[in-house]
Structure 1
Amino acid sequence: MSKLLSSRRSRIAGLVLLALLSLVPLRLLALPYGALDWVEYDPSYHHGHSCPVASPTASALQIPCAELPGPEEPVAAVVNGQEIGRAAFDREVEQFLLALQVGGIDVASPEIQDRLPEFRRQVLELLVEDVLVQQAAVELGIGVAEESIEAQVAAQVEGGGGLELFQAYLEQTGQSAAEFRRETCQELLRAQVQAAVTGTFTGTVEVVQARQIVVASQEQAVQALARLASGEPFDEVARAVSRDEATREQGGDLGRFARGESPAEPQVEALAFDGRQGEVQGPVEVSGGYALVQTVSPAEEVPDVEGQALLFQQWLEDRRQTAEVEVFVDVGDWNH
């Protein structure tokens, strides 16, 4: 279920990767939870403050993707009046620890146990962030249609290889189908809220797609140029002669990148941005020898997705700073 992992648990996977590398202080960005439900809220909700409606009325607003604890269930936290149940919190902590185990980390080790309060705090921060997105949706008049959730889940299952692999994925990550469905709801809601918040953002970035062939000498570069001139495809020549291990098997593909973010050396990036579509330039001297550079698709201005994401994250942080959050579980220093 690689596509499921990349689209649904990528932030957790990124966290696990960091933990595997060095167990450095980590900051999570999102974590889904719970079984799909709807919460009724008083329409007087305004500027980060709300009151749950004990007896929903026809005039109450619905917050999608939210999960309320049962009448007798302990509460982990309350965010602007909206409760996060202890069961939901404990479930997400367990799923996080399971992700660490899958990544090869011994969660019973003293190092992990010492950092458990930190990890619990980060999990709770993600649940709080989900609630803030839900509450913002009320202010913005945004909801998620059941049809959209069903269609997205179906697409994820099909894209991940079918129902059998989907079930295996759920078992590996410790999720139920209902939790996966809620996660889908939360992602769709977050995307809509982010689009509404950053809708006036007009930042762009210049990007290009390129390939490279790296050889040891100028003579070898000239030989590679001769093969290209005879009509041999660039990617085939790259696989045959390039000494760059990071790109050789991909036919020299460097991917699509913005200025200053190329995986190759600056002189290769410069040629890529200067080239016309399909043009091959070089050889240019690089640390590994000499490089030939092909501009696969010419430079173009595209929306700055990273800038949009940073803007939205800052917006969320501003809401977090003004939110009223009460914590009832041990997460170390909540106001760190």
Structure 2
Amino acid sequence: MKKYGVVKAVVVLQAICMIVLSVAVIVKLSPFSDDPEQHDPDSETKAQAGDTPGSESDSIRSEGIAAMVGGVPITSTELADQLKRQYGDNVLRMLMVHKAIDLEAKAQQLSLSSEEEDRELAAMMEGYDSEDVFYEVMKDQLGMTKSDIEEDVKYRLLLEKIAILTVELSEVEIQNYITAHPEQFADRLRLHLQWIVTDSEEEAGEVLDRLADGDSFEELALVYSKDANTAESGGDLGLIDSDDPFYDAGMLEEASRLQTGETTGPVEVPEGYAVIRLIERQKTEGLTGHVLYDNARKELALSKAKPLNEIEDDLLEKYNAEITP
């Protein structure tokens, strides 16, 4: 997958995260939940609300209380109604589109292999230290569980297959695409780096001397590094492509020569002078054979196909989707 494709996938996840969260909250706090005790206020709230049969407090308790502000309740019904007004249309469209995709995939005998899903997830995880870190970030920032992400990937890949069903490509076009975009399919080297950025070459040399004396890289980053974004994390830059255009090419070239655990410097960078350490080296084998061909065909076909949102509209129309009052 192209880099912008990975970014687009993450943006899609961010766009639907509020929808997923709203569904979860509605289910959890709905007054029609299977567990009435879940919504029952505590004894103090009950005492405040009063116990007169048929009173407003009875109505509030029957609806469930989502929160209290100054002793005034916000009911689960109020919350669910607000979420429905804000996100209901999007949630309903998502559910309808998923149903339509299921129907079309069955009609066209389309399916996904575990290899396809794993490859897509792996592309999304690029840039994260590990699979666990990826899912943790998705949970913390987007409120999405592993199963939520896997479901989104499943329906997105099926929709892409539907979108390119009618796109015809010649062998020459596909081979030309592969030739024109070698960076998408070649081997990739990624470097996990730490750095300490100083104002002068002399100061960087002082850092190297202290490292040679056994001082901690992390502690020296706090003391010396002028990069406020990484100093407190020990100068950790995370995993970086060896040809990442956002980092100084000379620094990356120096880093690529290092063995794991080695340090070098001073390296002149736009920010000043850097001392860098290689924590880890990851090499990803490029695509070959049928995987290369299929990936290239898919990317080229998607560039020629209708936008996916239009495909969704076509599917909803094909399967007579309608919203009932």
TM-score normalised over the length of structure 1: 0.43
Higher helix share: 2
Task: Compare CA radii of gyration and give the structure with the larger one.
Answer: 2
TM-score normalised over the length of structure 2: 0.44
